[in-house]
Every structure is written in structure tokens, then in C-alpha cells.
Amino acid sequence: GTFKDRLLIDFDPHLLLEGIAICCYACRIQRAYIYIRGEYHHQARVLEKALAEAYERGVFGGKGLLDGAATATGAPWRVDCFVHRGAGAYICGEETALLESLEGKRGWPRNKPPFPAIEGLFAKPTIINNVETLCHLPSILEHGAEWFHRQGCESSIGGPPSYGTKLMGVSGHVNKPGVYEFDLGIPLRTLVEDYCGGMRSGKKFKAAIPGGVSMGILSTDQYEAELDFDIGRKYNVLGLGTACPTVFDEDTDMVAVCRNIVRFFTHESCGQCTPCREGSRWLYKLMLRIEAGDATTKDLDMALEIATSMGAMPGTTICGLADGTNWAVRTILNKFRSEFEARVKPAYVPVTVGAGA
């Protein structure tokens, strides 16, 4: 459900390149890589063309925008930028798996420490940012940090503030799916009803994934949830994630949603860590049984136990994929348990003593 970065590349690739140049100048970086997912063939061509134009204008290559920037020794500060295509693995969204892929290896997450800022790509200190973050830099540099802080909202529970605007790619059962830019803190109901044209076919809202399937799910009574960095602590989800809500209407089968999410995580697990590799497979088999009506109520408890154990012990997995599976399954099963119970058989048949004749 996350597609906002694709539109940034499609419609303004030079905004991304300008953000990269600013980051390189500020952090004294000499080499930048744009890692793009394997399915984005058109976007890769757009970036290659824009990058060639940036080199012609001297944005990269040690001229133009960076002309005059110097190291302590007074040498010209040359920055080179490259586009690198991945092969479509979801796990390469994890920063160290991305680095492994960039180095031409299998996209497996690395043990940390060392962290990328200390020892990253080719054992060099490395900064990793996503497309939207870098695209914010030109505007912040032009208007100032105070201007950025005037957008967004403060925390209502004493947490970090949610400053700035956010691109929100809305998909699912709404009349006008698409990418919208709003201040952080906009309520989900306002986003759906005032800007996305309301629920499709006049149906009622049932649930929403706030941003990426690993974030868990917002239930029907959480329609007013504010899309900011407090959302995890306030509404029992993992977090805001990519802030790209997937919205479900009243006719959605939440058992099928859960099964489909677990199928995705099972397929995308790199298999390096046992809790993720085995846990996701067990969960998928359980979800298939539940959906087919062949499970019992004990299987629901087993699914919760497996999901919880996948994220309950810090350090048992290298990356957060197992924890994402945990949050997705646990929140859907807990918030919509009645739908799961309607699909399973009772584990025990109650026995009563009949009355005497």
C-alpha cells in the first residue's frame, strides 16, 4: 500500500537529486547511491535521465552547486551519484540488507553493531535516508527550520513532536485513492471523508492499516485516530510507518486480510532467523486452516502465542520483519476476534448433567 515515493520520482526527480546534493554537502559525503526497487523500471529510467541532466549542470561531479565547497585541506568537494536497481526483495527495505544488496551480495540484514553510520557500505560510514526525507531538504533550506516546525503538531502524550507535512498514499475502499500531502496529525476520518471522497459505494468504515502492513490495524472505533508519531502508543499499533493508510469497508473479511498479510511476510522472509522463518510459516498454515473452517478455538490462541513470541524477545531476530508479523496478526486477531471465532470449531464441548426423570 506504499506508493508515494514512486510519484515523487515520476513528477519531480530533480527534487530528490537536489536533496541528495544538500545532504552530501552538509555531511561531507563524496558518493551517493539511489537504491530503487526492481519493479520500478520506468522510475529507474526517469532517474537516470534526471541524473544525467544534473551532471550536465554541474550539480554532481564537483562543479556547479557544490563548487567552492572544500575539505579542511582545501581540495574541491566532488560528489558522484549513482542509480542502483534492486531485484524486488521486500527485505531490502531494511537498511543493512539494502547495503548488502548494493555490495552485490544476497539481501540479508546484518547484525548490529556496527551500525551503518560507523561501518556501512563497503565498510565506510554511511547515511541512509528515504526518498521523502531527502525531498523535504530543499524546502527546509529555503524557508528555514522554524517554518517546518510550524507545520504538523505537538505530541499530546509527552512524546516527540510530529513536525512537518507528510505524503499519505491512501488506498483501499475509498472513492478517491491517491497521494495527499497534509500536516502530521490529521485525523484518519478527515482524510477519508473530506479528501478521499468517503467510503466507496456508501459503505461504512471498518478498519485501516495506518502505514505498511507491519504496523498493525486500526479498528472501527479508532476511525478518529490522528496520523502522527503518537499513534502507536495511543491506538495499540506499531507506529505510523509510511503513513500510507489502506482502508477497509464493512464487507471486508478480516480473516482473509490476516491470511494475506501472513502469506506476504512468509514469502518475503529472508530465512536467516528462526523465529521469523519458522514462525511466519506456522502462522500461514494456521490462517489457512482458520479460513477453511478446519481450525478450533485452541488454534486462535496458538496463533496469538506464535505471533507474540516472534516479537516478544528483543535480539532474537536481526531485523524487524518478525516483529511486523507479530503486530499485524496480533492486532487483527485481538480487535476482530469474533470474525475468527465464527470460522472455527469449539475446542471443547461442554458436558452438563441432565435433570432426573
Contact 225, 218 (CB under 8 A): yes
Q: Do residue 205 and residue 133 come from a single domain?
A: no
Give yes or no: residues 241 and 273 share one domain. no
Any domain includes 65: yes
Q: What is the predicted pLDDT for the residue at 310? A: 84
According to DSSP, the residues that pair with 165 across neighbouring strands are 183
Judge if 137 and 195 occupy the same domain.
Answer: no
By the 8 A CB rule, do 302 and 173 touch? no
pLDDT at residue 225 greater than cutoff 70: yes
Residues 278, 207 share a domain: no
Give Cβ neighbours of residue 184 (< 8 Å, ≥ 6 apart).
Answer: 151, 152, 153, 162, 163, 164, 165, 166, 227, 228, 229, 243
Count up the domains in the chain and report the number. Answer: 3
Please answer whether residues 218 and 234 qualify as being in contact, where contact means their C-beta atoms are separated by less than 8 angstroms: no
What pLDDT shows up at residue 316?
A: 80
245 and 261 belong to one structural domain: no
What average pLDDT does range 249-273 have in this prediction? Answer: 96
Clarify whether residues 122 and 201 are in a common domain: no
Residues 6+ apart with CB under 8 A from 34: 16, 20, 47, 51, 81, 82, 83, 84
How much is the pLDDT for 75? 54
Report whether 239 contacts 229 (CB < 8 A).
yes
**What's the confidence (pLDDT) of residue 309?**
87
* Domain annotation covers residue 150: no
Which residues, at least 6 apart from 14, have a Cβ–Cβ distance to it below 8 Å? 50, 53, 54
Residues 299-314, buried b or exposed e (16+ Cβ, 10 A)?
A: bbeebbebbeebbeee
Are residues 215 and 264 located together in one domain of the fold? no
Q: What is the pLDDT of residue 88?
A: 87
DSSP string, 206-272: EEEESSSGGG--B-GGGTT-B-STTHHHHHTSS--TT---EEEETT--HHHHHHHHHHHHHHH--S-
Question: Which of the four pLDDT bands, split at 50, 70 and 90, describes residue 76?
Answer: low
Beta-ladder partners of 268 = none
The Cα 169–Cα 191 span in angstroms is: 11
In a domain, 153, yes or no: no
Distances (CA, A) of 105 to 102, 155, 234, 270: 7, 41, 40, 13
Does residue 262 sit in the same domain as residue 201? no
Q: Is the pLDDT of residue 25 over 90?
A: no
Instruction: State how far the Cα of 284 lies from the Cα of 66, in Å rounded to an integer.
Output: 52
Residue 122, C-alpha cell as written in the block:
563497503
Does a structural domain hold residue 51? yes
With a pLDDT cut of 90, the percent of the chain lying above it is 82
What is the tens place of the pLDDT at every residue in 269-312?
999 999 999 999 999 999 999 999 999 999 999 999 999 888 65
Say which CATH number the domain at 23 has: 3.40.50.11540
Indicate whether 86 pLDDT > 70.
yes
Q: Classify residue 32 as left (phi > 0), alpha (psi -120 to 50) or beta.
A: beta
Q: Which three three-digit cell numbers place residue 350?
A: 461442554
- Asked, for residue 148, whether it belongs to a domain, the answer is no
Least confident interval from 73-87, 181-195, 319-333: 73-87
Q: Are 98 and 129 in contact (CB under 8 A)?
A: no
DSSP 8-state secondary structure symbol assigned to residue 104: T
The reply to whether 39 and 109 lie within a common domain is yes
Domain CATH code at residue 210: 3.10.20.600
Q: How confident is the model at residue 67 (pLDDT cuts 50, 70, 90)?
A: low
Residue range 333-350: average pLDDT?
Answer: 87
Mean residue pLDDT across the chain: 91
Confidence of residue 32 (pLDDT cuts 50, 70, 90): very high
**Per-residue pLDDT at 194:** 96
117 and 210 belong to one structural domain: no
State residue 349's pLDDT score.
63
User: Which domain CATH number covers 304?
Assistant: 1.20.1440.230
For the cut 90, the answer to whether the pLDDT of residue 80 exceeds it is yes
Residue 101 lies in a domain: yes
Residue 356 lies in a domain: no
What is the reported pLDDT for 346?
80
Q: At 65, is the pLDDT very low, low, confident or very high (cuts 50, 70, 90)?
A: low
- 11 plus 134 within the same structural domain: yes
pLDDT band at 68 (very low <50, low <70, confident <90, very high): low
Q: What is the pLDDT of residues 113-154, one digit of tens each?
A: 999 999 999 999 999 999 999 999 999 999 999 999 999 999
Q: Using CA atoms in the order 221, 179, 200, 246, what is the torsion angle rounded to 10 degrees?
A: -40
Residue 2: which pLDDT band, with cuts at 50, 70 and 90?
confident
Give the least confident one: 70-79, 106-115, 242-251, 262-271: 70-79
Residue span of the structural domain in which 325 resides: 254-341
3-state secondary structure of 25: helix
| 154 assigned to some structural domain | no
- My answer on whether 135 and 169 are in the same domain is no
**Contact (Cβ atoms closer than 8 angstroms) between residue 328 and residue 213:** yes
pTM for the complete prediction? 0.89
pLDDT band for position 231 (cuts 50, 70, 90): very high
- Which residue among 113, 143, 173 closes a domain? 143
